[in-house]
Structure 1
Amino acid sequence: MITVANRIYVNPEYHDAFEARFRERAGLVDGMPGFIANHVLRPTRDGDPFVVLTFWASREAFEAWTTSDAFRQGHARSGTLPKDAFSGPNVLELHEVVAR
């Protein structure tokens, strides 16, 4: 199993809109083979990023998602926030789960 952590830096005045975007998401990832779960983590300190954390059965399953039509459709909606909503580039991290 792997986790994918997408650290997204959002300006404070856009926090509510960013969270709403995930509450209203298309949910296309939910039916992908190998997808386990999706969590959106809100920062508790100023300046820290949101973390969109997904769990996958394998790296191959995650990579299949990123090259799928469902991925393109789901992320086409991401243009709903203006560029100034983000205070920096996002950082994508992949980790293998070694203990639970």
Structure 2
Amino acid sequence: MFLAMNRFKVKHGSETEFERVWRERDTHLATVPGFVSFALLRGAEREDHTLYSSHTIWASRADFEAWTHSEAFRSAHRNAGGNKPLYHGHPEVELFESVLELNALGEAA
């Protein structure tokens, strides 16, 4: 398993619009080999922003990297620059490789 995460510092008052953009965007992820799941998470409120994290889970790092070079990736991110006024700075990208996975029974997956 491989997880790709982006953290966003969304300006106060922009949360509803930020969430709408994500809800309505055409991600193209369902057609990409190795894609497992996506989540947009709302975190803590800070002095000047609300923390959000988007993350995708992939079958492997190779699947994730193939997606970043695909037409599906370019299509999904085509209008991303227009949303920059909603948050402070650039999204912070974090990439993780699985070293241990447990299922609901506590067994290694």
Q: TM-score, normalised by structure 1?
A: 0.88
Q: Distance in 1 between matches of 2:76 and 2:44?
A: 27
Q: 2-side partners of 1:7 and 1:15: how far apart?
A: 14
Q: Which 5+ residue runs of structure 1 have no aligned equivalent?
A: none
Supply the distance in 1 between the matched residues of 2:25 and 2:79 (Cα, whole angstroms): 8
More helix by share: 1
Q: Aligned residues: percent identity? A: 35
Structure 2 residue ranges without an equivalent (≥5): 103-109
Q: 1:24-61 CA deviation, whole Å, 9 max, x = no partner? A: 12030121000000000012322452100110000010
Corresponding residue to 2:58 among 51, 56, 59: 56
Q: Which is strand-richer, 1 or 2? A: 2
The residue type equivalent to 2:24 in the other structure is: E
The total of aligned residue pairs comes to: 99
Q: In the TM superposition, what are the counterparts of 1:1-100 in structure 2 within 5 Å?
A: 1-46=1-46, 47-81=49-83, 83-97=84-98, 98-100=100-102
Q: Decide which structure has the larger Cα Rg and report it.
A: 2
Per-residue deviation, 1:78: 1.8
Aligned pair in 2 of structure 1 residues 96, 10: CA closer, same or farther (>3 Å)?
same
- The one-letter code of the counterpart of 2:41 is L
Q: Which runs of 4+ in 1 moved over 2 A?
A: 44-49
The CA distance in 1 between the partners of 2:12 and 2:30, in whole Å, is 28
- Cα distance in 2 for partners of 1:60, 1:54 equals 14
* Cα distance in 2 between the residues matched to 1:16 and 1:8: 14
